[in-house]
Each structure stands twice: as structure tokens, then as C-alpha cells.
Amino acid sequence: MPGKTTSEQIVETADRLFYEKGYEHTSFADIAAEVGISRGNFYHHFKTKDAILNAVIDLRLINTRAMLEQWEQDGQTPEDRIRCFIRILITNQTKIMEYGCPVGTLVSELAKLNHAALADANRLFTLFRDWLSLQFKALGREEDAEELAMHLLARSQGVATLANAFHDETFIRAEVDALSMWLHERAREAA
């Protein structure tokens, strides 16, 4: 990774490995090996594994906020913007089928580990929820915006989980289409 500091490389590699192998199953040695540094050097940048996890969560929050802002520019209508969210399931299809949803699987794992960073990881979920809620409000669903946001979030999570379990591309397409129709219907009701 050219033009990146060692710390950045560590966090980005940890981000990927935590997603692909899980937090607990990823060791200092794994990350150090992939970055190409010694474990001693590693310790200089991050004192504990928890510190890396926090950095990874912060990075994901930053990247997610950037993505949401991008969608606000891409999508002209709130409906378009929400559709951007739905389409992640297609965009990230391959990775989702292999590793599930990065947010959902991390939160699940941290919940089982009783890990202190669980609350931080959950901010990824609330970030999506609040953004979706905002879009639904802009769509004219002031009353039930948050419920709609939670519903959409849940549907996406479910699709990701089953896509991971069944490796079924057709299923993803069908559910994405159903979600698009559901969204359009909610928009139509509001108008």
C-alpha cells in the first residue's frame, strides 16, 4: 500500500481481516504478517488488541459517513438515496456471500465476547438507521420514518445472513427487487 503510513496500513489490514476471519480469530501475528512488519513494530503503533479494534471501528464510521454523503450527491430523490443503500447487497455481493455483513457479523461477535467495544460497533448500526430515517422523513414519512429504517435495516441483515449461508445469488437479486418494490410502495403512499 504505497503512500500510506504504517499505522494506516495496520488499521486497514485489521479492518479486512476482522471482517474476513472475525476479530477473535485474527491475531497480532496475522496482521503483522500481512502488513509485512514485525510484531514488535506492531506494538509501537497499538498497545493492545482493543486499541486496534477501536481504530478499525473509527475507520469504518468515517468510511461509512463518506459513503452516505456520496449517496446524498448521487441520488437526487430520497427514494434514490435509499435505493443506494439497498444496492449495497448487489455491489458487495461477492464479499457478503463469503463473509456476511461487516457490521452485523462484528456486532454479533462482540456481543458474544461481551466486549467493551460493542457499544462503539453499534454506532455503525445507528449511523445507518439515523441516515435512513432522515431519508424516509424527506420522503414524507415523518410519522414512521424510524420504523421504516429499522425494517429496511433488518431486511438487509437477513438477506446478508442467508446469502452468506446459502451462497445464492438469485436469492439476493429477488430480495433486492422485493425491497425496491417495497420502497417504491412506501414512497407512493407518502405522495
Partner DNA sequence: GACATATTAGGACGGTCGCCCTAATTTTGA
Partner DNA sequence: TCAAAATTAGGGCGACCGTCCTAATATGTC
- Contact set with DNA (CB under 7 A): 5-6, 26-30, 36-45, 47-50
**Selection from 173, 172, 132, 174 nearest residue 151 by Cα:** 132
From the list a second copy, DNA, none, partner contacted by residue 37 (C-beta under 5 to 8 A by kind): DNA
Q: Which does 2 bind (CB under 5 to 8 A by kind): a second copy, DNA, none?
A: none
Nearer to DNA, 18 or 85 (CB): 18
Instruction: Pick one of DNA, a second copy, none as the site partner of residue 41 (Cβ within 5 to 8 A by kind).
Output: DNA
* In contact, 176 and 162? CB cutoff 8 Å: no
| Cα angle for residues 49, 45, 26 (degrees, 5° grid) | 30
Q: Judge contact between 6 and 44, C-beta under 8 A.
A: no
> Could you tell me the end-to-end alpha-carbon distance of the chain, in angstroms, rounded to an integer?
48
d(CA 107, CA 127): 14
Of residues 169, 135, 173, 175, the one with CA closest to residue 156: 175
In the complex with DNA, the residue whose CB is nearer, 49 or 151, is 49
What is the smallest separation between the CB atom of 169 and a second copy, expressed in angstroms? 13
130 touches which of a second copy, DNA, none (CB within 5 to 8 A by kind)?
Answer: none
Binding mask 15-54 for a second copy (x = CB under 8 A): -----xxx-xx-----------------------------
- Residue 181 beta carbon to a second copy: minimum distance, rounded to whole angstroms: 13
Closest C-alpha to 56, from 103, 14, 107, 110: 14
Cα–Cα distance, 143 to 134 (Å, whole number): 12
Helix (H, G, I), strand (E, B) or coil at 9: helix
**Considering the complex, what minimum distance in angstroms separates the CB of residue 4 from a second copy?**
25
Q: Which is nearer to a second copy, 22 or 75 (CB)?
A: 22
Residues at the contact surface with a second copy, assessed by CB under 8 A: 20-22, 24-25, 98-100, 104-105, 107-109, 111-113, 122, 125, 147, 150-151, 153-159, 161-162, 164-166, 168, 171, 174-175, 178
